[in-house]
Chain A
């Protein structure tokens, strides 16, 4: 089974609809992230969470909200979807740096992605 799962994998919706993308992980990591990927723009950070009570805005948080329901679950919501939110969305997890040493501890593990289309 995959360590980081995302649901749904594909979603087509209409402008103005509320959409929730869900992410679950079995890696036991404290840190979770949401990114969006657009052609030619790379990966941009939307929100990140270092533990259940810690939520932080990333580079492009406008129009998005998140909820960290448990250590293993981190969901991304689009309250009122608009066409320019059409993109690939990735969830990622990483270990808590200060508990370990070495560069590998900052490895981010990505889910398979959700392709969202807003018409």
Chain B
């Protein structure tokens, strides 16, 4: 059973960079075959796909966030990470990591989510 767990600071100051890591267990990122995504949910709102990375390092980002987003992978630790720069209060959200199926194009496993608040 694949499990994903987000970790990182719960509070980030405006204009700084939000950094989160997703640790994967029960499956290996380096075995390929899946995309590894970040998704966020603003308080009381819907979900927004941020971007994904493949084990090779290939990435795709949501065009609305592309200029501020970097997703990276560390296959030795079986982790992938999100960096979102120049954050504002509008980036306050629950951030989820998820595994994406590249054949049927859906999210089959999700982390529990972590709340990141942007505030001074």
A binds B: no
**Which B residues lie at the A interface, using CB under 8 A?**
none
